[in-house]
Structure formats: C-alpha cells, structure tokens
C-alpha cells in the first residue's frame, strides 16, 4: 500500500532564476487522485508559490495541460495510480516558452487560432435575414466537421509535435484543424480565404505526419487527419480547379 508518491516538478521564476530546476515533493497517494490533485495539495500545504493553470478539473476547459513523464497530458486526466511507484516528472508543455513554473506563454497559439478566421463567414449579399430563419444543416453535413469542432485548445498537440519544436512558426495541429472545421461547415463560404492561410508555406506543408498530435489529443479531434485531408484537398484543388 502506497502512502505517498513523489512528484519532481519543474520550477522557474523569471525574476530570480536564470535556469530552471526541479523540486521534489512527497505527496499523499490516493487511489482516485490525478496529478492536478497532487499539485493542488502541494500548493495548499507545502509551497504556495507553485504556479500552474487549471480550471474545470474534468477535461473540458483545456487549461491544465503539462508534460507528465515526458508525455503531454491534461493534469486533471493523469491518474497517480498509472504512474506508480513514481516519481512523477511534471514539466510545462514542450515547445512553448516558460513564463513561470508550469505556466507557458501562449500568445503565439492565440495568434495562430485567430489567423485561420475561426468563425462562419458569408459572402457579401449572402447573409440570410432573420426573417428567413436559421441556416439548416443535415446530420450528414454536421458529421463532416463535427470531430474537428471538439477541440478544447489545450495545446497538448503542439507539445507533442516535433515540427513545433523545430519551427515555432508552424501553424500547428489545433489551428489547422480549427480552420478545417470551418471549411467543412456547409454554412461557411470562405473556404478559399482560409485555404490561403492553411495551405501556406508555414502551415500544412511543414507537417510530416508524425501523428503524435492525434495520439495525445484528449478529445479525439484527430488534427493529424485534418492536416492530411487539407493536403489532399489542396492537391484536388490544383488538379481540378473547377471543383472548388
């Protein structure tokens, strides 16, 4: 019976440290605890300066992404019992600059999301007046993009992607999947505008289909699939421009 388990946590204070370090904490082991519970216990009982993001603690908000034993995970979804006997190494998400402790700088991620115009766009004169009712969509039309709409912006995919590590300008899995979500939405009319961003040099063509983004995604968005489908679509657009 395990009474405690050790966590080795990445510490970095921008004003005090020039290099990060690891601090080991002995935490109570509970059968039903996740890494987030352990970190919260540390902050409440041992070191109140430990800094990290979290919110819903149930895998829907996307706030608590971190590296757990080298794999990007939501800390609210990483059960301590799966890491016995420990120690568990907890680090900020890979491929992002570290603000402090487990908090990463995500400005570039936000910019990338915005760059794919993640909202429905109607062509001029094509906006339906309220009196004509809603834009209707069949279940089959919904099915085309539904999977890509499940993204919670947790950035685990960016942490898992080696291309992100090699090239911080890479548009990345979540942003491309988000772009595809709108391109495949029957209510949207801005496919070619978005394809300009998605099919640009720093976007889908940097992807080498490692596939780890889809493996770590907690919501089964399959961003790798979205990117390959975008490449295939780009090829079809080139070979058959009339079918766009």
Partner 1 sequence: MPKPYMRKMPATWWLTKRAYFWFMMRELTAVFVGAYCVLLLVLVWKLKQGSPAFGPVMDWLQTPWSIGFHFIALVAALYHALTWFALLPKVIVIRVGEEKLPPILLVGAHWLLWAIVTAGLVWIVFFK
Partner 2 sequence: MAKSTGETIWWSLFAAGGVVAALLIPALILTTGLLLPFVDIGAIPNVKSPGFVGLFALAFSVIGKLLLTVAISLPLFHCAHRIVHTSKDLGLHAAHTLIAVLFYGGAIVGTGFAVWVIWLFQPVSS
Please tell me whether residue 199 binds partner 2 under the rule CB under 8 A.
yes
Tokens of 98: 């570290």
Q: Is 243 in the site for partner 2 (CB under 8 A)?
A: no
Applying CB under 8 A, among 212, 217, 218, 221 the residue interacting with partner 1 is 212
Q: Which does 98 bind (CB under 5 to 8 A by kind): partner 1, partner 2, none?
A: partner 1
* 83 binds partner 2, rule: CB under 8 A: no
How many residues touch partner 1 (CB under 8 A)? 36
- Using CA atoms in the order 53, 75, 212, 155, what is the torsion angle rounded to 10 degrees? -20
Distance CA 53, CA 45 (A): 18
Helix (H) or strand (E) holding 224: helix 223-239
Does residue 166 belong to the site contacting partner 2 (CB under 8 A)? yes
Q: Closest separation between CB of residue 190 and partner 2, Å?
A: 16
Backbone angles phi, psi at 91, to 5 degrees: -135, 160
Of residues 16 and 201, the one with the C-beta less far from partner 1? 16
Residue 196 touches which member of partner 1, partner 2, none, C-beta under 5-8 Å by kind: partner 2
136 binds, among partner 1, partner 2, none (CB under 5 to 8 A by kind): none
Report the Cα 111 to chain-centroid distance in Å: 14
- Give the burial class of 180: count Cβ atoms within 10 A of its Cβ; 0-12 exposed, 13-18 middle, 19 or more buried: buried
- SS3 of 118-172: the string is CCCCCCCCCCCCHHHCCCCCCHHHHHHHHHHHHCCCCCHHHHHCHHHHHCCCCCC
Do 34 and 19 contact (CB within 8 A), yes or no? no
Q: Is residue 211 at the binding interface for partner 1, with CB under 8 A as the rule?
A: yes
Residue 143 in tokens: 């099915």
Partner whose binding site includes residue 97, from partner 1, partner 2, none (CB under 5 to 8 Å by kind): partner 1
> With CB under 8 A as the contact rule, which of the stretches 111-119, 125-133, 170-178, 208-216 interacts with partner 1?
208-216
Q: Which of 35, 38, 100, 157 binds partner 1 (CB under 8 A)?
A: 100
Instruction: Tell whether residue 140 is a contact of partner 1 (CB under 8 A).
Output: yes
Binding site for partner 1 (CB under 8 A): 12, 14-15, 17, 19-20, 70, 94-95, 97-100, 105, 139-140, 142-144, 162, 165-166, 208-212, 214-215, 222, 224-225, 228-229, 231-232
């Amino acid at each position: 019976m395990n009474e405690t388990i050790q966590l080795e946590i990445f510490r970095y204070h921008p004003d005090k440290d020039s290099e990060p370090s690891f601090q080991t904490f002995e935490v109570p082991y509970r059968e039903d605890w996740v890494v987030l519970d352990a970190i919260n216990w540390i902050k409440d009982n041992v070191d109140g300066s430990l800094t990290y993001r979290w919110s819903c603690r149930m895998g829907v908000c996307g706030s608590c992404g971190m590296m757990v034993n080298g794999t990007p995970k939501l800390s609210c979804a990483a059960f301590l019992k799966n890491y016995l006997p420990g120690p568990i190494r907890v680090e900020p998400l890979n491929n992002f600059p570290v603000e402090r402790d487990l908090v990463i700088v995500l400005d570039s991620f936000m910019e990338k999301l915005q760059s794919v115009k993640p909202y429905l766009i109607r062509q001029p004169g094509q906006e339906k007046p309220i009196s004509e009712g809603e834009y209707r969509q069949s279940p089959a039309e919904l099915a085309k993009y539904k999977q890509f709409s499940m993204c919670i912006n947790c950035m685990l995919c960016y942490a898992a992607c080696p291309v992100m590590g090699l090239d911080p300008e890479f548009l990345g899995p979540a942003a491309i999947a988000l772009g595809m979500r709108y391109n495949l939405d029957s209510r949207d009319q801005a496919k070619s505008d978005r394809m300009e961003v998605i099919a640009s040099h720093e976007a889908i063509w940097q992807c080498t289909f490692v596939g780890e983004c889809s493996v770590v995604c907690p919501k089964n968005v399959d961003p790798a699939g979205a990117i390959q489908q975008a490449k295939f679509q780009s090829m079809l657009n080139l070979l058959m421009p009339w079918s766009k």
